[in-house]
Amino acid sequence: MSNLLLCQGNFCTFLCPHGDDLCLNSLKDLFNRATNLSQDIYNLSSKMFKEFDKRYAQGKGYITMALNSCHTSSLPTPEDKEQAQQTHHEVLMSLILGLLRSWNDPLYHLVTEVRGMKGVPDAILSRAIEIEEENKRLLEGMEMIFGQVIPGAKETEPYPVWSGLPSLQTKDEEARHSAFYNLLHCLRRDSSKIDTYLKLLNCRIIYNNNC
Amino acid sequence: LYASLLNGQSPPEKPKLIKCRSPGKETFTCWWEPGADGGLPTNYTLTYHKEGETLIHECPDYKTGGPNSCYFSKKYTSIWKMYVITVSAINQMGISPSDPLYVDVTYIVEPEPPMNLTLELKHPEDRKPYLWIKWSPPTLTDVKSGWFSIQHEIRLKPEKATDWETHFAPKLTQLKIFNLYPGQKYLVQIRCKPDHGYWSEWSPESSIQIPNDFPVKDTSMWIFVGVLSAVICLIMVWAVALKGYSMVTCILPPVPGPKIKGFDIHLLEKGKSEEFLRALESQDFLPTSDCEDLLMEFIEVDDSEDQHLMPRPSKEHMEQGVKPMHLDPDTDSGRGSCDSPSLLSEKCDEPQAYPSKFHIPEGPEKLENPETNLTCLQAPQSTNGEGKIPYFLANGPKSSTWPFPQPPSLYSPRYSYHNIADVCELALGMAGTTATLLDQTDQHAFTPSKTIETGGEGKATKQRESEAYSSEPDQDMAWPLLQDKTPLFSAKPLEYVEIHKVSQDGVLALFPKQNEKVDAPETSKEYSKVSRVTDSNILVLIPDPQAQKKK
């Protein structure tokens, strides 16, 4: 399919001013890889959450505590398809970047603290490590692409800061498990958001809403 | 109330929420399971509130999803938000709420199966035939915008088989299946899964009949492959047949037998003495550089006026009118330092002394060639300690070079290691042919007896073979002693070199044994001055300038 039919709009013309196939194909490839990464991060976090839930959270009702506990809830993310489709791609991009950035720190601590948990299944720990790694990679890639489009995106824009470290380190095992549950619950959700937004952008920008 | 209780009526039992599902991440439906109704008509109310909100809502639609369901349309559906849903059973006696269910629509997506499953058999030319399966995305899923991402799975089997063959088809809406069995009826099903969610149900079966004549494989290709293989096999068979032996020897080389370097039995058997000797010669038996290394030397006694430098013996031969006395063109061979330019220049005017070729004389046995007076002498088995006695072969008066009428290239000075007997026989064999080449003036037999008889100085350094045999050379100058490998070549009348005298300097003066036809004094040749004795007891003789001058 000719690239001329696809990738219209300011984004493409901005990133590929000459509209040449090589540039457009590179962009296509970049998005493809980004969505693969984000999908993988989601899969890992979903499995990790389920594993933790099965192991530590049965009948505990941690979910009640998890409501409204995500540190990224302050970000104005769209919550259904219509909202998302009405959101400008630049906004979507900065949301993605904000989410990715805001998870750098919690992921780091997650790995550290999960390691310290007694009897933690390897399925949880290994996935945590991998997620942390992939998150960094995805952030780098997104900063590379989006940074060119969004004015000021490369600067340190404020992003939600996570302050849940103390609760992860508390001595009370129940409280600690609850804190982990929260964190993993929020991680699963935010990785789903990132994944969906990226796929939206991909189909919108690269394939002209014709995925 | 008391009356209701007496009637066995009671508040309803708690209902239970079973599950909630979203077909396309845009709407969702929840179902519950009613409990006992307590004997009274019971209504069910579903209430919910969203994460982060305090307001409680009631189910907007109890109908669409069927009995005991609640359908949330787009308007009421939010993603990435927790719904806390409760169903309450209400009857006259009371209300019984269910346990709350925490639902995030993101994770409850279960699509419908794909639609419009079509099967088509395709058989393009020059390519393999296949089954082409096509379908459309399930209802209610927005794939185009990217909101919904799907993977697919197809399974098929022959109607009567038990196991399904499963294929994975990410994101596409078509699939090609190859290698189907003709004459079978195939059943096909498909299902799909969103990127975050559950697998759909299998679609209803579609079936297709493969016709009996449906080619399983691309036959033309196989025909081509078969023909090519046959051709290759034929070529290989033919190659093996032609060169079977050499191939076998290539793979399994025969174990080499013992071999004398340069000694080729086959040549000998064929009687190709020339080549045989040449083969031996080529093994570098003869030292080529240093006179001292010579195991065999040639002496050419030159008693003619024509003194030519060694390097052109063949020419000289020709000039003498002698037939192809054809020395080995490599004049360096076997001649050692005697051949060196300095030596040669010395000898310019004089009979040249070529490195002598010693022929092991035969003691008792003599084979006489009456024509040429060629005697093939057996080397005496009992050596006189040192070895064999050299046998000088001297030219006739008119020949300036080699005494041997060498058939072309056969008798080369380098054939020092030939078995004498064989060579003798060869020589004799050749003698006839070369008889005519012989210098008629030189008819000398190699008879030791004769040589012995010749006079000469009393010193044992007579050169006759027999003498040499019979008596140990008393001189310190030992005769050059030949290993038993001297070639005998001469088919020509050989001249004997007789020791004329031994001068005080230790110079051996030699002269040919003349026959009557030769002018003795004139042709008295002062042969060699002993230049040195080599390590292998070979006497290196050079023409004696003094002697010549004296003449």
A46 touching B (Cβ < 8 Å): yes
Inspect the interface and report whether the beta carbons of B196 and A42 lie closer than 8 Å.
Answer: yes
Segments of chain B with pLDDT less than 50? 287-288, 291, 293-294, 305-493, 514-524, 550-551
Give CA separation, B162 vs A8, B165, B180, B183, B187, in Å.
50, 10, 16, 17, 11
Do B30 and B88 share a domain, yes or no? yes
Question: Which B positions 196-215 lie with beta carbon below 8 A of chain A?
Answer: 196
Please check whether residue B453 lies inside any domain of the structure.
no
The answer to whether residues B135 and B176 belong to one domain is yes
Q: Using a pLDDT cut of 70, give the percent of chain A over it.
A: 91
Residue B123 sits in the same domain as residue B211: yes
- Residues B67, B130, single domain; the answer is no
Looking at residue B401, its pLDDT comes to: 40
- Distances in Å between the alpha carbon of A8 and those of A11, A13, A145, A203, B207? 7, 7, 16, 11, 42
Separation between Cα atoms, residue B166 and residue B177, nearest integer Å: 11
Q: Of B167, B197, B216, which one is at a domain's C-terminal end?
A: B216
The pLDDT value recorded for residue A81 is 92
C-alpha–C-alpha distance, residues A4 and B298, integer Å = 97
Interatomic CA distance for residues A58 and B432, integer angstroms: 122
Query: What is the average pLDDT across A33-61?
Result: 93
Q: At what angle do helices A21-56 and A122-149 cross, to 10 degrees?
A: 150
Do both B182 and B96 map to the same domain?
no
- Please answer yes or no on whether B81 and A82 come within 8 Å at the CB atom: no
For residue B298, being part of any structural domain is answered with no
Binding residues of A for Zn(2+): 195
Domain edge (last residue) among B183, B200, B216? B216
pLDDT at B239: 87
Q: Is the CB of B145 less than 8 angstroms away from the CB of A39?
A: no
**Looking at the structure, do residues B84 and B123 belong to the same domain, yes or no?**
no
Q: Among B77, B145, B173, which would you mutate to test the A interface (most chain A Cβ atoms within 10 Å of its Cβ)?
A: B145
A208 touches chain B (CB under 8 A): no
Answer for the pair B481, B467: CB distance below 8 angstroms, yes or no.
no
Alpha-carbon B338 to chain mean position:
48
Chain A touched by B259 (CB under 8 Å)? no
A contacts of B146 (beta carbons < 8 Å): 199-204, 207, 209, 211
Q: At which of B216, B231, B251 does a domain end?
A: B216
Do the domain assignments include residue B416? no
* B307 in A contact zone (CB under 8 Å): no
Residues 6+ apart with CB under 8 A from B111: B23, B24, B138, B140, B141, B148, B150, B192, B193, B194, B197, B200
Q: For A131-152, what is each residue's pLDDT tens digit?
A: 999 999 999 988 887 777 666 5
> What residues of A are in contact with residue B52 (Cβ under 8 Å)?
67-68, 73
Q: Are residues B210 and B124 part of one domain?
A: yes
Domain count, chain B: 3
Handedness of CA B309, B315, B319, B322 (dihedral sign): positive
Give the count of Cβ contacts less than 8 A between chain A and B.
70
Which tokens go with B140? 């209610």
Domain that holds residue B208: 119-216
Q: How far is CA B227 from CA A14, A35, B38, B407, in A?
A: 59, 50, 85, 61
pLDDT at position B281: 66
- Asked if B26 reaches chain A (Cβ–Cβ under 8 Å), the answer is yes
**Is residue B544 included in any domain, yes or no?**
yes
Q: Residue B291 domain-assigned? A: no
**Is A210 within 8 Å of B144 when comparing Cβ atoms?**
yes
**Domain CATH number, residue B51:** 2.60.40.10
Instruction: Select the residue of B51, B145, B196 nearest A203 (Cβ to Cβ).
Output: B145
Q: Chain A contact for B52, CB < 8 A?
A: yes
Q: Say yes or no: B138 and B208 in one domain.
A: yes
Regarding predicted confidence, which is higher, A16 or B468?
A16
Inspect the interface and report whether the beta carbons of A79 and B143 lie closer than 8 Å. no
Residue B74 near chain A (CB below 8 Å): yes
Length reported for chain A? 211
* Whether residues B92 and B175 fall in one domain: no
User: Is there a domain that residue B529 lies in?
Assistant: yes
Q: What is the pLDDT of residue B366?
A: 42
Please enumerate in sequence order all residues whose Cβ is within 8 A of that of B256, keeping only pairs 6 or more positions apart, or say none. Answer: none
Is residue B54 domain-resident?
yes
**Do B91 and B131 share a structural domain?**
no
Measured between alpha carbons, how far is B430 from B432 in angstroms, rounded to an integer?
5
As a whole number of angstroms, the distance between CA B526 and CA B498 comes to 9
Considering only CB atoms, which chain B residues are within 8 Å of A95?
A: none
Domain for residue B206, yes or no?
Answer: yes
The length of chain B, given as a count of residues: 551
